[in-house]
A and B are shown apart, each in its own frame.
Chain A
C-alpha cells in the first residue's frame, strides 16, 4: 500500500500539470493543434492509471482544453471517477470538469445520482457545496427528480453557506422537474425571511441569519415570478415588507424589479408602491437602485389608468431623474436613461416630448448603442409640428453615417416615423414623396422594398398626391442610377417596381407619357430582376393605352400608330426573358399589340377598348380583411354540400376504411327538407349578405358603380391642393424646399387665424363676453397642406375582433405555471429515495403522485400530459440502466426476484434484475386499480385520445433482446432511432459479466454493410474495433452505446460483429471472443411520435400514402394489452381509440409517416397500414405480424 503511494507520487512528478500544459501550448504557437493532440494522448494514458491523483490532474488539464474548444465528452466516465474521489481537492476538479462538459445528452450522467446524493449529505460543507455548484450546471430531469428531496432538506442546513446554495439550485430543479415546485415552495417562502432554525432561546444554539440566503430566495422567486407573475401575487405583502425593511441593494433591486412584473396584474399594488418608491428615489445614492425604482414607477404608472392627476408629479419626477441620467457624462447612465425614457414615451409622450432637445443631441453621440436608443425615442416624439424638422435632421445623419447597418437602421426609422399610425403626422405628402425619392439615392441599402412599399402605399391611398407622385416616379424611371444597382437583392432597384406601377396605373397624370414609355422600354431594363420586369411589361400596356386614347382624341392617327410600332419593336426583348412571368406577359401583350396594329391600319378606333382593359380602380384592402370576414349565421363550413355516397363499399376496399373512421365521427348536417317558404327566406337573406359583402363578386356590369353607390367606404371629397405649393418640382426635388414652404404656409395660416381671432375678440368685446382661449399653437392648429384623403383600408363589415396569438407552446417556463396557493395534497410529496427492498414493499406511493395528480387536474394541457408520459417512459428506461449499475453496490434480497419470477416468464428475459422496476410498477398498478371502484373509470366506450394507454395494468416488457452469450459475458441490446440526426440509430448494448474474472480491454468490431455503418471515432479505420468505455468486474453489468448510420431504412438488416475482451483472474488472463449478429428491424427505425387526431386525419386525406394490411388469427390477448405491445415493440403511439378499434401513428427517423388502423374481431386482429413508403410498410407489417402471432 505504502509502496503504491510512493510510486503514485513519483509518477505524478513526471506528469505534466495544468501549468506545464499551458506553458507548453504557449511554447508551441506554430503547431498548437499538433501539440495539443499529443497532450491529449498523454492524458488518455494518465486516465488509464489507477492513481486518482493522476486522474484528477488529467481531468484538470481536460477542463482547460475544453475552454480552448476541444470536446472532452469522451472522458465523461473518468470525470465521474474523479468526482467520486474522497478528497475534496480531487472532487472539486471532477465537479468543475463535469459542470463544464456535462449536459442532458451525456449518457453516463445517470451514474452520478448516488455519488451526488452522498456528497450532498457529506459532513463537510465544502463537499456539499461543490456538489451543489456542479449540479446547478448539469442537472437533468432525472437528477432533479431523484435529488429534489435531498436538496430540499439542505435548504434548512445549519450552515448558511449550504442553505443559500441549496435555495438557489432549487430554481434549476423546478425547471427540470416542475412537480417539485408546489411541495418545495413553502420552505422557499420561509427562506425569504430566513429565520434561525434553532429558534429557541440560548444564543449559542442560533445559526446566524444570513443575508445571502435571503438574497438567494428572493432571486429564485423573482425568476419564477417573472415567468408566471400571477401565481406570486399573494407574496406581494411579504415583499412589500422586505422592500421597506431591507438595506441590501441587491435584494432591493430584485424586489423592485419583481414589483415591476407584478403591478400590471394588480393596479392596487401599484398605488401602494408609488410612495415608498418615490422615497427611495429621493434618498438612495446608488444609481443602480435609483434606476430600477424609476423603472418600476414607470411600470406602475403605465398600469394605472392614465389621467390620474396626482400621478403627474411622479411622472415628472421620473422624467426629471432620467434627464439627469441622460445628461450624465457616464455613458452607461445615458444609455439606461434613454432606455427607460422610451418606456414612459408609450403612455406619456407629452412629458418626454419636452426633452426633445436632449434626445436629438444624443443622435450625435459617438456611441452607436446610444444613437440607436435615441432613434427609438424619436419614433414617439414626432408631432405634426416637428416631423419635418426631425426627419431633416435624420436625413443629414443618413448622409454622414458610416457603415450600412446604421444607415439602414436610420432609413427604416425614418419610414417608421413618417408612416406611423396611418401617416398621422404628415401634413404634406409631397414632402414625404420627396424624402422617399431622396432615400433612393442611398447606395448599398437592403431596404429598397421598404421604400417601394411606401411609395405604393402613399400613391394609392392619398389620392391628392397621385399627380405629384407620378411626376416623381417618371423621373425615377428615367434616371439611370437605379438601374445600375440591379444586381443586389432587395437593393434599391426595388423602387423601380413601385415607380413602374404608379406610372402605369395613374398614367392619366403623366405630363409626357411618351417619354416615360420610352424610358420603360429601354434595353437596360432587361437587366432588372424578373419580378420588376414583369411589372414593367404590364404597366407599359397601361401607359400605352392612355397614350392611345390621347392621340385618338386629338385625332393624331399617325402618332397612335407610331406608338404601336414602338411597342412592337421593343416588346420582343421581354419575350426572350428567362423569367417565365416576364416572358408570358410579354408574348401575350405583343400579340395584343400586333392585333391593335392591324386594326389601326384599317383606321378602326381602338383606344376605348384598349383602355377598357384597365378600367376600374383597386381599393386598398386591410391585410387581415380576409381572415376577419365573419362566418355568416347559418353557414356551416364543415357541412357537406353534397351528401357523400353511402358507405357501401365492398370488402376489398377495406383499407379505405381508415378514412371513414374519421368521417363517421364528424357531425353530419342532413339538410332538413325545407319547404318553399324557408328556401325563399334563405335566398333573401343570402342576397342581403352579399350586398354587404365587398368581396362578393356580383353580376353588376360595372364594379366602379358599386363603389360609388356604397356610402362611407370611400370617396371622401378630394380637396383642391393648396396652390402655394408648386405642383411640379423640376428634376428630383430636395425635400428641404418643403420645409421652408411649409414654414411659410404655417405662418400665413397663423396670420389668418390671428386675424380671425382678433375679429372674434372684437365681437366678443362688443358682446361683453369673455372667453379664455389663449393663443397657443398646438398640433391641432396646423392644417395639413393637402386636405389629405387617406383611403382607409377596407375591412369587412362586422369584422371579428382580432384574434390573439397563442402563447409559444414550447416555452420551458410554462410548466412552472403552477398554482402555489392551493394547499398541498398528500400525493404531492417529493419522491424520497429509500433502500430498494423497503421501497417495493412499503412505499407504493412513489411515482404514483404524478398519476393521481393527473386525474385530479383534468384541465391540464393534454400536450403537457403527453410529454410527461413520454418522459416517464424515458425515465423508466433509464432507471433500469441505473439499476444495472447500482447492482454492484447494493446487496439485493433474492427473494423478491423469486417472487415475481412466474410473472416474468411471459416475456423475453435478458436480465432478471431489470425487471424489478417493472414489478414495482405492476404492484403499484394493482394497488391502484384495487383502490378505484370499477365504475369510477371513464366509461370504457369513450375514445381514448393520444398517448399509450398507460393507466391500465400492463404486462412487463423489456425492449432489450438477447444478442449473444457465452460463459463469460452476456450481451443484450436495444436499438433506438435518434430524432436529432437523420438516418441514425443508437444501439445500446448491455454487457453482463457472468464469470468470476474481470473483463477488460473490451472491443467491439462490426462489419459495416453498404447500407449500415457504425459511427467510429475520428481517425479509426473500418477494420478497427471500437473500445468499450468500461471494464467489468465479476457479476457487474454496464451499458455502452454506439451510433449507426443507416442509408435506407425500408428494409430490415443484419450486421455481423465480434466482441473481443481479456478475461483476467487470479490465474492469469485469456483473450476471448464472442460473435454476435445485430438485427436492425424496421420497427427500430421508428420513433414514438405523438400525433393529434386532426393532424392524423389530414395526413390520411393527403393521399400520398400507400397502403397495405395484415390479419392475424387466434389472438386472445385484451385489446388494451395488444395496443400496448404494438406501442412498445414497434414504437407507435395511439392517436385515438374507439371500442375495439384504434388508430396509431409513428414516424421513421427519415421522416416517413406510418399510420395504422388496428381492429380486433372475435379472435383475430387486422392491421391496416398507410405509409409514405410501401416497402417499409410491408416490412413493418410483417414484423408486427410476428409480434402479434406470439400473443
Chain B
C-alpha cells in the first residue's frame, strides 16, 4: 500500500499532498516538513530509498523518492510494494504529467493542483496502484477533459 504521495519543491513548498491515511492537517504539514528535511540532505547520486520518517508508519514503511529539477516526488510505501516498481511508477506519473501539460514544469503544478490530483487519481487509487500503462492513463484524462469542456459549452 502507498501511504502518502508528496510533491514539494527544493525549498520544501508543498505542491501536492495526498495522504491515504487520515492525519490532521497540522500533522500532514509536519510530515511534509520532516520528509523534506530527510530528502534534502541527500545527494542526487545516492540511493532513492530512505528508511524511517518517524511520523508515518514505522519500520515497515519506506520513503521512495525521485528528484526532478526543482521538484521532489516522494512516495511513502509499506513492504508490500516493490521498491523498484514504485520508482518506475513515479517515472510513469511524471511522464504522464509531462504529456498532459506538455513539457511540465513546476509552475504547472503550482497553478493546476486540481488537475495534478485528477491525473494522480488515474494512477493511484486509495493507496493502491490503479494503472501503470501511460497511454491508458492519458486516454482517460483526455476523455474527462473533453467531458468537462462539453459541459462548459452548455453553460455558455
Interface of chain A residues 197 through 233 with chain B (CB within 8 A) = 211-212, 215-216, 219-220, 222-223, 226
Task: Please state if B156 and A87 are interface contacts (CB–CB under 8 Å).
Answer: no
Q: Chain A residues near B113 (CB, 8 Å)?
A: 18, 22, 63-64, 67
> Are A137 and B20 CB-contacts (below 8 A) given A291-B84, A366-B46?
yes
Categorize the interface residue count of chain B.
Answer: 35 or more
- The segment out of A89-97, A841-849, A966-974 that lies at the interface is A89-97
Q: Chain B residues near A63 (CB, 8 Å)?
A: 113-114, 117
Task: Please state if B126 and A137 are interface contacts (CB–CB under 8 Å).
Answer: yes
Task: Please state if B111 and A18 are interface contacts (CB–CB under 8 Å).
Answer: yes
A848 to B147, CA, bound (A): 43
Task: Please state if A370 and B80 are interface contacts (CB–CB under 8 Å).
Answer: no
**Is B9 in contact with chain A by the CB < 8 A criterion?**
no
Q: Chain A residues near B134 (CB, 8 Å)?
A: none
The chain B residue sitting closest to A70, CB to CB, is B25
What 0/1 readout, one digit per residue, does chain B (47-91) give for beta carbons within 8 Å of chain A?
111110000000000000000000000000000101111011000
**Is A650 in contact with chain B by the CB < 8 A criterion?**
no
The chain A residue sitting closest to B127, CB to CB, is A136
Task: Please state if A370 and B47 are interface contacts (CB–CB under 8 Å).
Answer: yes
Q: Chain A residues near B121 (CB, 8 Å)?
A: 96, 133
- The segment out of A328-336, A713-721, A1126-1134 that lies at the interface is A328-336
A168 to B130, CA, bound (A): 8
The chain B residue sitting closest to A211, CB to CB, is B133
Task: Please state if A168 and B14 are interface contacts (CB–CB under 8 Å).
Answer: no
Task: Please state if B148 and A133 are interface contacts (CB–CB under 8 Å).
Answer: no
Q: Chain B residues near A68 (CB, 8 Å)?
A: 14
**Is B151 in contact with chain A by the CB < 8 A criterion?**
yes
**Is A896 in contact with chain B by the CB < 8 A criterion?**
no
Task: Please state if B114 and A171 are interface contacts (CB–CB under 8 Å).
Answer: no
> Are A288 and B80 CB-contacts (below 8 A) given A89-B151, A164-B130, A168-B125?
no
The chain B residue sitting closest to A63, CB to CB, is B114
Interface of chain A residues 35 through 53 with chain B (CB within 8 A) = 53
Q: Chain A residues near B26 (CB, 8 Å)?
A: 69
> Are A212 and B87 CB-contacts (below 8 A) given A18-B113, A136-B126, A334-B47?
no
Contact of A19 among B1, B28, B111 (CB under 8 A): B111
Name 16 extra pairs, CB < 8 A, besides A9-B155, A133-B121.
Answer: A9-B156, A18-B113, A60-B114, A67-B113, A69-B25, A71-B25, A92-B118, A104-B22, A124-B147, A133-B126, A223-B1, A257-B80, A331-B45, A332-B87, A367-B43, A372-B51
**Is B94 in contact with chain A by the CB < 8 A criterion?**
no
Smallest distance from the beta carbon of B35 to chain A beta carbons, Å? 14
Task: Please state if B47 and A367 are interface contacts (CB–CB under 8 Å).
Answer: yes
Q: Chain B residues near A215 (CB, 8 Å)?
A: 129, 132
What 0/1 readout, one digit per residue, does chain A (134-153) give for beta carbons within 8 Å of chain B?
00110000000000000000
**Is B105 in contact with chain A by the CB < 8 A criterion?**
no
Q: Chain B residues near A369 (CB, 8 Å)?
A: 46-47, 49-51
**Is A476 in contact with chain B by the CB < 8 A criterion?**
no
Q: Chain A residues near B144 (CB, 8 Å)?
A: 88, 92, 126
A100 to B80, CA, bound (A): 24
List 28 interface pairs A-B (beta carbons < 8 Å), by A numbering. Answer: A18-B111, A18-B114, A22-B110, A22-B111, A63-B114, A63-B117, A67-B14, A68-B14, A69-B28, A69-B29, A71-B24, A88-B148, A92-B148, A96-B121, A100-B18, A126-B143, A164-B131, A220-B128, A223-B1, A291-B82, A291-B83, A292-B82, A331-B47, A336-B49, A336-B83, A369-B50, A370-B46, A372-B51
Categorize the interface residue count of chain A.
Answer: 35 or more
Contact of B129 among A66, A87, A92, A219 (CB under 8 A): A219
Q: Chain B residues near A223 (CB, 8 Å)?
A: 1, 80, 128
Smallest distance from the beta carbon of A4 to chain B beta carbons, Å? 13
Task: Please state if B131 and A332 are interface contacts (CB–CB under 8 Å).
Answer: no
**Is A1125 in contact with chain B by the CB < 8 A criterion?**
no
A494 to B115, CA, bound (A): 58
Q: Chain A residues near B151 (CB, 8 Å)?
A: 87-89
Question: Which residues of B does A touch, CB under 8 Å?
Answer: 1, 14, 16-18, 20, 22, 24-26, 28-29, 43, 45-51, 80, 82-85, 87-88, 110-114, 117-118, 121, 125-133, 136, 140, 143-144, 147-148, 151-152, 155-156
Q: Chain A residues near B84 (CB, 8 Å)?
A: 287-288, 291, 332, 336
Smallest distance from the beta carbon of B141 to chain A beta carbons, Å? 11
The chain B residue sitting closest to A258, CB to CB, is B80
**Is A253 in contact with chain B by the CB < 8 A criterion?**
yes
- State the main secondary structure of chain A at its contact with B: helix
Interface of chain A residues 1044 through 1075 with chain B (CB within 8 A) = none
The chain B residue sitting closest to A251, CB to CB, is B132
Q: Chain A residues near B46 (CB, 8 Å)?
A: 331, 366-367, 369-370
Task: Please state if A89 and B148 are interface contacts (CB–CB under 8 Å).
Answer: yes
A382 to B99, CA, bound (A): 52
Pairs of residues from A and B, 4 with the lowest C-beta to C-beta distance, nearest first: A136-B126, A288-B84, A367-B46, A331-B47
Task: Please state if B114 and A226 are interface contacts (CB–CB under 8 Å).
Answer: no
**Is A960 in contact with chain B by the CB < 8 A criterion?**
no
The chain A residue sitting closest to B28, CB to CB, is A69
Task: Please state if A103 and B130 are interface contacts (CB–CB under 8 Å).
Answer: no
Q: Chain B residues near A249 (CB, 8 Å)?
A: 85
Q: Chain B residues near A216 (CB, 8 Å)?
A: 128, 130
A332 to B45, CA, bound (A): 10
Task: Please state if A250 and B129 are interface contacts (CB–CB under 8 Å).
Answer: yes
A19 to B22, CA, bound (A): 27
Q: Chain B residues near A70 (CB, 8 Å)?
A: 25
Question: Which residues of A does B touch, CB under 8 Å?
Answer: 5, 9, 18-19, 22-23, 26, 53, 60, 63-64, 66-71, 87-89, 92-93, 96, 100, 103-104, 124, 126, 132-133, 136-137, 161, 164-165, 168-169, 171-172, 211-212, 215-216, 219-220, 222-223, 226, 249-250, 253, 257, 287-288, 291-292, 331-332, 334-336, 366-367, 369-370, 372
Task: Please state if A89 and B47 are interface contacts (CB–CB under 8 Å).
Answer: no
Contact of A212 among B18, B47, B48, B133 (CB under 8 A): B133
Task: Please state if B85 and A335 are interface contacts (CB–CB under 8 Å).
Answer: no
> Are A161 and B51 CB-contacts (below 8 A) given A64-B113, A219-B128?
no
Smallest distance from the beta carbon of A93 to chain B beta carbons, Å? 7
Smallest distance from the beta carbon of B110 to chain A beta carbons, Å? 6
Q: Chain B residues near A26 (CB, 8 Å)?
A: 110
Task: Please state if B128 and A335 are interface contacts (CB–CB under 8 Å).
Answer: no
A726 to B27, CA, bound (A): 59
Task: Please state if B128 and A171 are interface contacts (CB–CB under 8 Å).
Answer: yes
Smallest distance from the beta carbon of A126 to chain B beta carbons, Å? 5
The chain B residue sitting closest to A336, CB to CB, is B83
> Are A67 and B16 CB-contacts (below 8 A) given A161-B140, A212-B130?
yes
A250 to B124, CA, bound (A): 14
Q: Chain B residues near A292 (CB, 8 Å)?
A: 82
Smallest distance from the beta carbon of B136 to chain A beta carbons, Å? 7
Task: Please state if A67 and B129 are interface contacts (CB–CB under 8 Å).
Answer: no
A168 to B132, CA, bound (A): 14
A172 to B26, CA, bound (A): 25
Smallest distance from the beta carbon of A287 to chain B beta carbons, Å? 6
Q: Chain B residues near A71 (CB, 8 Å)?
A: 24-25
Q: Chain A residues near B22 (CB, 8 Å)?
A: 103-104
Task: Please state if B143 and A168 are interface contacts (CB–CB under 8 Å).
Answer: no
The chain B residue sitting closest to A53, CB to CB, is B155
Task: Please state if B132 and A89 are interface contacts (CB–CB under 8 Å).
Answer: no
A292 to B22, CA, bound (A): 30
Q: Chain B residues near A171 (CB, 8 Å)?
A: 126, 128
Q: Chain B residues near A126 (CB, 8 Å)?
A: 143-144, 147
Contact of A288 among B18, B85, B133 (CB under 8 A): B85
Smallest distance from the beta carbon of B134 to chain A beta carbons, Å? 13
Smallest distance from the beta carbon of A979 to chain B beta carbons, Å? 17
Q: Chain A residues near B43 (CB, 8 Å)?
A: 366-367
The chain B residue sitting closest to A160, CB to CB, is B136
Smallest distance from the beta carbon of A148 to chain B beta carbons, Å? 15
Q: Chain A residues near B112 (CB, 8 Å)?
A: 18
Task: Please state if B126 and A169 are interface contacts (CB–CB under 8 Å).
Answer: yes
A668 to B45, CA, bound (A): 73
Task: Please state if B147 and A88 are interface contacts (CB–CB under 8 Å).
Answer: yes
A197 to B14, CA, bound (A): 44
